[in-house]
Chain A
Amino acid sequence: MLQLTDIERYYRNGLRKTWVLNRVNLNIKEGEFVTIMGPSGAGKSTLLNILGLLEAPSGGNYEFLGERVDKLSEKKRSELHKAYMGFVFQAYHLIDDLTVYENIETPLLYRGIGKKERKSMVAEILDRFNIVAKQDLFPDQLSGGQQQLVGVARAVISKPRLLLADEPTGNLHTKQGDQIMELFRELNKDGVTIIQVTHSERNAAYGTRKIELLDGNIQEDQYLESASAL
């Protein structure tokens, strides 16, 4: 599905350059559930942002679905976002002024989907995530786990083929985290490619592949035997 070749990312600090990503090569196939791990500051988020086209690499080659995407216009990037990608954040990033329903609906608005269809899509996902009762509440009236459920619901409502999640359970208890991971596994079974960043081995065990990042280099890349080990 996507292919990174010699991807670099550095920040210029005065005259000095500091590399955050150092010639990263990575190939991810459709249907994989990849977990990126590594110590703080290793460049996990940076890598994920590059994969999600939120950040441009300083060098290297990124092919997404067979197309060069490392130097795209804002408009083209936005189109790829809309067509293929969904994002889940550690801090949920729900819009405070919108209700649960409206938050989930938002991506559909930007995809120009008609009102009726929106309604049924949101209803379906609310049902599937078991949050129908919460649909008229505002984010600050929900617990963290509930907020993240909404965050995931919002990320997947537009049926993305690639779901990117940066420490989706970082602010949650283990139990809440497991719930999200179960959801991810289900989505993955339905064919969604997932790339997540996490510090938790427990979460990594839900995935099919684990990548260790250290100082901007891929240290280890292993396929997990059984996704349902736990």
Chain B
Amino acid sequence: MWRNYLNIAIRTMWKNRLFSSINISGLALGLAVAILITLYIRHETTVDQWLPEGERTYRIYRYWADTDGAWAYTPRPLSKTIVAELPEVEAASFLFSDSDILFTAGDTHHYVEHLGYVDSTFLEVLSIPLLYGDEQTALASPESVIISENIAQLLFGTAANAIGASINFNDEMQLSVTGVYANLNGRSHLHHDALMRLPYEMDGWLNFSFETYTKLTKASDPELVAKKIDQLVKPFLLQAYNEANFEVSEDEISHWGLQPFRQIYLNSGEINAITVSLGSARYVYIFGFIALLVLLIAGINYVNLSTARASGRVQEIGIRKVSGAERKHLIIQFLAESVLQSLLALMIALPLVQITLPIFSEITGRELAFMAKPEWPLLFSVLGGTVCLGLLAGTYPALILSGFKTSLILKGDNKTKRKGYNLRHVLVTTQFVGVVVLAIMMGVMYRQLNYMLQQDLGFNSEQIIQIPLNYDDSWRKLEARKSDWLEYEGIHSITTASALPGDRVGNITIEIEHSDGQYVSPDMINVSPGYDEVLGLKVLEGRFISDEHPGDTSLNFVVNEAFAEAYELKKPIVGQRIRFPWEENWGQIVGVVKNYHYSGLDHQIRPLVFSGRANNRMHAAIKVDAAHWSTIASLITQQMRAIEPAHPFRHHFLDEHFAQQYVKYQQLSKTLRYSTLLTIIVAMLGVFGLAVFLSQQKIKEIGIRKVLGASELELVFMLLKRFILIVMAASIIALPIGWWLARKWLEDFAYQMKLDGIPFILAVLLALLVTSLTVCWQAYRAARINPVEALRYE
């Protein structure tokens, strides 16, 4: 029996080669897209899930009852204190993140991009499995370091060689490798290439530069623990504020919360953190939705073409029925056909996935793997999903086809032809709603990104060379040579600073004079004179930090417009006084700069102060003339060797560096663009099939109309008209949906483009255009038919 079904299924497919291949290629594309997106979602949802005992591991954050958002910035003593005082806390440890640190092993240098400073108990809290080394003792010694497999290979050739080897840390101290772990990048929201003991004294309660992770004992309630931390920590903080000369009342102290470790990667939208998570639950939903949509569209193609062709099979069905086939036999037969087609589609989809995976990985910025090793569960679920798709797509046509009444069939009844006619329209409309919505989203994202990239940022990022510095005192040495460097042709200006646009900016507590001891916490950048010149900042009032005024490099400040606005400073702003609360002397505001987007357009411009004090400055920036760049490059290379002998010279172009922060959105936009194009292709396959079918069905009508005087153009339009109407109807439904989604998505950005009609109009035009192109060719062929052929009597 089954053989019989299969035989018939194959033969029917072969007989209708054109429609079968449309069906199969649509399903194959749909499946391929869905599998790729599934891999992406699987990747996103497995990040961090592998951590042993992750279900009772948490990251601690602070929040204020009266402000939105939360901060995963904590002080170092927090972990020690809660372990000692709270029985529910099994272990707790801090993590301090540093970047761009030079590791040297023998002659091999490598700048470690992400380095973590921890204490000896770190692996007790986050039990990252070691490939080599012993978790218990790996971090016991202050000179120990554990490194990722990647770094081990870079420095020592193989991971096994690394154990026991020594590494020179930033030309400051010797470390001994005590462990190697599998690369975290992509597997965890933590991306640290190496973890070592904190080499600095940073013990204050007010230094919120640490992440704190904790593991609770089994069955303890995290909310309760958070409350206990509130109580426990308050006195320490109050005392610390007191000692630092801050007047802080009890209700101004933050609360504490515990974020489940396994949710960090995808659900950190509201939490500001040191290690920014690339993942986002919302995007997982968006892509899940696209995967379902493209499968839906492929399934709809199948339903449409099968029911459309039903009339062609009426005779076959009638004869089968007369020869004794029951309805269920027919249903099974039609389902066998649809499942067979979807399985064939899968056989095309799998290699397609293999081929496109590297491209897709690159577009999404994720390292995705498919069947790198045999993955039976995945394979089975893909197979199961495919069979389900086949069954779902096949059910409706099977019910329709098997339900024809024999008597009607044998009378040659006309109405069987119209079966499924309305449903077909509804389904095609649904497809187009999906297509138009996706196209709108694609347009909106594209435009928002362009808007961000082309925005006047308020500073100049072109022809600026950025040099990361590696020693605390490098900037002084560099500043000492500044006047020499400025002599060179092509160097316009030089500065050293704690942050350049695109870098993370710290915030600081500031007291404003005559404000009743009110503290504010603006962003702060330590700069040397010339910062404004290099970046082309506009000074609106007063002056920028300047060499000519000795006070500028010690006590004085420059603020941005947002500072004056947010803290309601009265004009004139220059001359008003602010200070660090823990210091006696007031400093003067000597200048106001025009607002500029120092952290990109997805962030609001915050109040900002510049200080010229001799604080840490780990960046230098030089405004150069591109024409002289090669001579300047060799000069700087040579000079930097004198300043930092142990460090190979590195530089970036500021504009490229700044654009880095849009990478996440660019990846998303690209991924969406390709998904949309593929979805449109799948939908158009279906439209093409319907157009072929329709022109076959209408062949007689076309002949008649031709004889009655219709021109080819009029006939093409007649066939095209109904598709155009469908696209229009779908657009009417899609526009509000698209508008709503676009609004929601744009909420992520502090600076949004104006949402005008253009992406909407373009999306509709795109749908109309591709539909017309798809249909026209077929319609034109049909319209050219010789009417005598069309009308020849059967």
**Is B one of A's binding partners?**
yes
* A116-141 interface (Cβ within 8 A of B): 140
A154 and B708 contacting across the interface, CB-CB below 8 Å: yes
Q: At the interface with chain B, which of A32-40, A60-68, A106-114?
A: A106-114
Give the secondary structure class of B's interface.
helix
B709 and A78 contacting across the interface, CB-CB below 8 Å: yes
Q: Is B325 an interface residue (CB 8 A)?
A: no
B704 and A93 contacting across the interface, CB-CB below 8 Å: yes
A95 and B793 contacting across the interface, CB-CB below 8 Å: no
* B377-429 interface (Cβ within 8 A of A): 414
B707 and A110 contacting across the interface, CB-CB below 8 Å: no
A107 and B787 contacting across the interface, CB-CB below 8 Å: no
A167: nearest residue on chain B (CB-CB)? B793
A96 and B414 contacting across the interface, CB-CB below 8 Å: yes
Chain A, 94-112, contact with B by CB distance < 8 Å: what is the 0/1 string?
Answer: 1111000000001100110
The answer for the CA separation of A93 and B708 in the assembled complex, in Å, is: 11
Chain B, 659-697, contact with A by CB distance < 8 Å: what is the 0/1 string?
Answer: 000000000000000000000000000000000000000
B791: nearest residue on chain A (CB-CB)? A93
* B751-792 interface (Cβ within 8 A of A): 786-788, 791
The answer for the CA separation of A87 and B788 in the assembled complex, in Å, is: 12
The answer for the CA separation of A21 and B670 in the assembled complex, in Å, is: 65
Min CB distance A73 to B, Å, is 11
A54 and B709 contacting across the interface, CB-CB below 8 Å: no
B700: nearest residue on chain A (CB-CB)? A93
Min CB distance B80 to A, Å, is 83
Q: Is A30 an interface residue (CB 8 A)?
A: no
Chain B, 690-718, contact with A by CB distance < 8 Å: what is the 0/1 string?
Answer: 00000000001101111111111010000
Query: Provided the pairs A90-B793, A140-B414 are in contact, do residues A106 and B788 lie with their beta carbons within 8 angstroms?
Result: no
Residues of chain B contacted by A17 (CB below 8 angstroms): none
Q: How many A-B residue pairs have CB under 8 A?
A: 50
The answer for the CA separation of A74 and B788 in the assembled complex, in Å, is: 14
B788 and A54 contacting across the interface, CB-CB below 8 Å: yes
A110 and B788 contacting across the interface, CB-CB below 8 Å: no
A110 and B700 contacting across the interface, CB-CB below 8 Å: no
* Cross-chain contact of A110 among B714, B786, B793 (Cβ < 8 A): B714
Q: Is A82 an interface residue (CB 8 A)?
A: yes
The answer for the CA separation of A78 and B663 in the assembled complex, in Å, is: 59
* A60-94 interface (Cβ within 8 A of B): 74-75, 78, 81-82, 87, 89-91, 93-94
Min CB distance B450 to A, Å, is 46
Residues of chain B contacted by A54 (CB below 8 angstroms): 707, 786-788
The answer for the CA separation of A90 and B703 in the assembled complex, in Å, is: 14
A82 and B709 contacting across the interface, CB-CB below 8 Å: yes
Min CB distance B713 to A, Å, is 10
Q: Is A182 an interface residue (CB 8 A)?
A: no
The answer for the CA separation of A107 and B704 in the assembled complex, in Å, is: 10
Query: Provided the pairs A54-B788, A55-B788, A89-B791 are in contact, do residues A110 and B711 lie with their beta carbons within 8 angstroms?
Result: yes
* 21 A-B pairs whose Cβ atoms sit less than 8 Å apart in the complex: A54-B707, A55-B786, A74-B712, A78-B706, A78-B709, A78-B710, A78-B711, A81-B707, A81-B708, A82-B709, A87-B708, A91-B793, A93-B703, A93-B704, A96-B701, A106-B708, A107-B709, A110-B714, A111-B709, A140-B414, A158-B709
Q: Which residues of A contact B (CB under 8 A)?
A: 49, 52, 54-55, 74-75, 78, 81-82, 87, 89-91, 93-97, 106-107, 110-111, 140, 154, 158
Closest 9 CB pairs of A and B: A110-B709, A82-B709, A107-B708, A93-B704, A54-B788, A110-B710, A87-B707, A81-B709, A95-B701
